[in-house]
Structure 1
Amino acid sequence: TSLLYSKGETLFGIDRAFRLHNAASFIIVVRGHRMY
């Protein structure tokens, strides 16, 4: 169960980081369009 938990935690961390990256990229794109 310990291995399964750590694996799930890693997947969750990657998913969260991926979502944060997408959100940051979206904000940068929106700001870029507003600047132009």
Structure 2
Amino acid sequence: MFPFGRFGQPDGAARLLAWLMTDEARWITGQVMHSEGGFGR
């Protein structure tokens, strides 16, 4: 993975959560969404 070189903002996580509550995401179940900007291993 390649780091983005910047820290994430709360609105980025909020957009993901808002999308997960839409009908477009209705088939996503039991997933872990990592939000580490490419810094994780």
Q: TM-score, normalised by structure 1?
A: 0.37
Between structures 1 and 2, the one with greater helix share: 1
TM-score by length of 2: 0.33
Could you say which structure has the larger radius of gyration? 1
